[in-house]
Structure formats: structure tokens, C-alpha cells
């Protein structure tokens, strides 16, 4: 028996829960509000960072693909991995969190075949490291894009300088001389990398 991959469709948020073919008062938007309001938490902040970069580069916003080998595809076909970090966490802290990003080479999984390829490498062409820099819990707001800094680095630099290293501290990242930008500059930075690669 073969069960094909489900083609996920974008939801509106107005879809209602159903029991015995009767629509309940609870809709999908109420679930999103319940499950996805903590934008500072590690897991959801990472997804939010992907969305922020997707907006910046005009990537396809139909639906996010879970467990894809890279996070985003630019309009010109550049494969992008997005990583996020923050000094502030939702829980009580004694000190600010140390900043580090995951850069571990991976095996590519094919959702059409449900098989993992043997080759282990960094799957994306470019990494965008997203740092939520705000340090006041009372006013931190991940939707305020002025509270973020973005660092863009081609994967080939990670491969040359760090080989198979799994994590990257902020200090090491800065020593690699990434392109440091704000939100409004992400698109141009990615465009410049694409244009150079296409020459």
C-alpha cells in the first residue's frame, strides 16, 4: 500500500471544528491564537523568523513546508536557511541567553519518497541569521522588526571555515564578516548574492 503525500492547502482561519456534521463556534483562528501567541518562545520564534525573511525577499507565502531540506526559496531559486536567536526568553531568567545558531550539515529528506539521501551537507546556498536584539522583557515584541538584526552568510563560507561544526556563536559569526542588515535591506542583500552567483 502506498499513501501519497498530502498537498497542504492554505487555510483562511475561518474554518470551524465539526462534530456530528455540526459546525462548532470554535474556528481555526481560535486555535492559532491559543497555540501561536507566544512569539518569543524558541520554537515559534524560529518559524516567525522564517516568515519575516520570506516577506522580505518576496518568497512564496502559500504554506510553510515542514521538515524541508531548507527553509525558503528565493524568486530566483536561491536556497535559504533561516536561524534565529534571542537574548530574552519567555521563562524567568537569571541572565540573558547566550547567542548561538545551529549550522549542522544534514541529510536531505524527500517527502515524495519518504527517503533520506546519503549525502550529508549544508542544504541551503545562504544562511540568514536573525537575532532578536531587544533586552527588555516588558517591551519585547518580535513583530516590531526594528528589534531584529539580520546577518547573511553564504554556506560556502561556513563550509570553508567551520567544516562540519554544528553550532555557531555570535562572536564567531561576526568574525566571518557576514552581511549585516536591517529588515528593509534583506531583499537587496539576497539579490546581490544571487546576481553574483549567476554571473
Number of folded domains that form the chain:
1
The residues, ordered by sequence, that sit 6+ positions from 114 with a Cβ below 8 Å of its Cβ are none
| Domain membership flag for residue 44 | yes
Structural domain boundaries enclosing 187 = 38-198
Confidence of residue 3 (pLDDT cuts 50, 70, 90): confident
Dihedral pair phi/psi, residue 195, rounded to 5°: -65, -40
- Is the separation of the CB atoms in 186 and 129 below 8 Å? no
Is residue 1 assigned to a domain?
A: no
pLDDT value for 153: 98
Separation CA 48–CA 11 (nearest Å): 17
Per-residue confidence (pLDDT) for residue 4, from 0 to 100: 86
pLDDT of residue 11: 97
In a domain, 128, yes or no: yes
Q: Does residue 185 form part of some domain?
A: yes
CATH of the domain at 126: 3.40.210
The label of the residue with cell 549585516 reads 180
Residue 3 lies in a domain: no
| Cα–Cα distance measured from residue 122 to residue 104, given in angstroms and rounded to the nearest whole number | 7
Nearest residue to 102 via CA among 126, 83, 118, 87: 83
Are the C-beta atoms of residues 81 and 70 closer than 8 Å to each other?
A: yes
- Per-residue pLDDT at 66 exceeds 90: no
Has residue 132 got a pLDDT over 80? Answer: yes
* Domain contains 32: no
Residue 168 lies in a domain: yes
Q: Is residue 14 part of a domain?
A: no
In tens, the pLDDT along 70-115 reads 999 999 999 999 999 999 999 999 999 999 999 999 988 887 788 8
pLDDT in tens, 23-54: 999 999 999 999 999 999 999 999 999 999 99
According to DSSP, residue 62 is labeled: S
Q: What are the tens digits of pLDDT across the range 143-169?
A: 999 999 999 999 999 999 999 999 999
pTM above 0.75, yes or no: yes
Amino acid at each position: 500500500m502506498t499513501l501519497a503525500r498530502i498537498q497542504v492547502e492554505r487555510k483562511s482561519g475561518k474554518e470551524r471544528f465539526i462534530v456530528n456534521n455540526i459546525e462548532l463556534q470554535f474556528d481555526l483562528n481560535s486555535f492559532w491564537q491559543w497555540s501561536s501567541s507566544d512569539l518569543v518562545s524558541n520554537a515559534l520564534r524560529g518559524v516567525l523568523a522564517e516568515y519575516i525573511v520570506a516577506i522580505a525577499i518576496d518568497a512564496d507565502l502559500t504554506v510553510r513546508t515542514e521538515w524541508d531540506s531548507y527553509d525558503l526559496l528565493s524568486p530566483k531559486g536561491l536556497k535559504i536557511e533561516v536561524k534565529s536567536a534571542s537574548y530574552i526568553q519567555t521563562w524567568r531568567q537569571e541572565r540573558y541567553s547566550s547567542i548561538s545558531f545551529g549550522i549542522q550539515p544534514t541529510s536531505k529528506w524527500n517527502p515524495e519518497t519518504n527517503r533520506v539521501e546519503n549525502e550529508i551537507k549544508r542544504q541551503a546556498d545562504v544562511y540568514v541569521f536573525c537575532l532578536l536584539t531587544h533586552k527588555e522583557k516588558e517591551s519585547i515584541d518580535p513583530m516590531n522588526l526594528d528589534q531584529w538584526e539580520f546577518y547573511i552568510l553564504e554556506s560556502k563560507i561556513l563550509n570553508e571555515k567551520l567544516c562540519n561544526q554544528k553550532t555557531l556563536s555570535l562572536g564567531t559569526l561576526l568574525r566571518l564578516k557576514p552581511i549585516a542588515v536591517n529588515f528593509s535591506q534583506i531583499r537587496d542583500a539576497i539579490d546581490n548574492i544571487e546576481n553574483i552567483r549567476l554571473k
